[in-house]
Amino acid sequence: MFGYYLDLALRSLKRNRVLTALMVLAIALGIGTSMTTLTVMHVLSGDPIPQKSAQLFRVRMDVSPDDHFRQGDKVPDNLTRRDAEALLRDGKADHQAAMSAGAMVVVSAQGEPLRVATRYTGADFFPMFDVPMRYGQAWRPEDDAARARVAVISGDLNEQLFGGKDSVGKTLQVGGQSLRIVGVLGDWAMNPRFYDLSNGQFGNSEQVFLPLSTALDLKLSTSGSLTCWGSAPDSRAPEAPCIWLQYWAELDTPAKAAAYRQYLQNYIALQQQGGRFSHPGLAEELDVMQWLDAKGVVPSDVRLQTWLALGFLGICLLNTVGLLLAKFLRRSGEIGVRRALGASRRAIFLQCLVEAGVVGLAGGVLGLALAALGLVLVRHQPTDYAAYIHMDLSMLLLTFALALASSLLAGLLPAWRAMQVAPAVALKSN
pLDDT tens profile 349-375: 887 888 888 888 888 899 999 999 988
| Crossing angle of helices 345-379 and 17-45, rounded to 10° | 50
CA angle 159, 163, 165 (to 5 degrees): 95
Percent of the chain with pLDDT over 70: 92
Q: What angle do CA 72, 78, 79 make, to 5 degrees?
A: 100
**pLDDT tens profile 145-188:** 999 999 999 999 999 888 889 999 998 887 678 899 999 999 88
User: In which band, very low, low, confident or very high, does the pLDDT at 1 lie, cut at 50, 70 and 90?
Assistant: low
Q: How many CB atoms lie within 10 A of CB 338?
A: 19
pLDDT > 90? residue 221:
no
User: In angstroms, what is the C-alpha Rg of the chain?
Assistant: 31
* Residue 110 pLDDT grade (very low, low, confident, very high; cuts 50, 70, 90): low
Q: What is the pLDDT of residues 395-419, one digit of tens each?
A: 888 888 888 888 888 888 888 887 7
In angstroms, rounded to a whole number, what is the distance separating the alpha carbons of residues 243 and 235? 9
Q: Which amino acid is at 11?
A: R
pLDDT above 90: percentage of residues in the chain: 37
Q: Would the pLDDT of 127 be above 70?
A: yes
pLDDT at 426: 46
Domain ranges for the chain: 2-48+298-429, 64-280
Q: What is the pLDDT of residue 360?
A: 86
pLDDT category at 244 given cuts 50, 70, 90 is very high
Give the pLDDT score at 101: 92
Reported pTM:
0.79
Mean pLDDT score, 129-142: 95
3-state secondary structure 246-313: EEEEECCCHHHHHHHHHHHHHHHHHHHHCCCCCCCCEEEEEEHHHHHHHCCCCCHHHHHHHHHHHHHH
| Rounded average pLDDT over 41-69 | 89
pLDDT of 389 over the 60 cut: yes
Residues 268, 63: contact at Cβ < 8 Å?
Answer: yes
Q: Tell me: pLDDT of 18 over 90.
A: no
Three-point CA angle 144, 147, 153, nearest 5°: 75
- Looking at per-residue pLDDT, the higher value among 387 and 132 belongs to 132
pLDDT of 425 strictly over 70: no
pLDDT surpasses 60 at 424: no
pLDDT at 109: 59
- Least confident range of 247-251, 302-306, 316-320, 370-374: 302-306
Which range is least confidently modeled, 7-11, 183-187, 308-312?
7-11
Residue 4 has pLDDT above 70, yes or no: no
At 146 the pLDDT is 94
pLDDT, residue 285, reads: 94
Mean pLDDT of the chain: 86
pLDDT of residue 248: 97
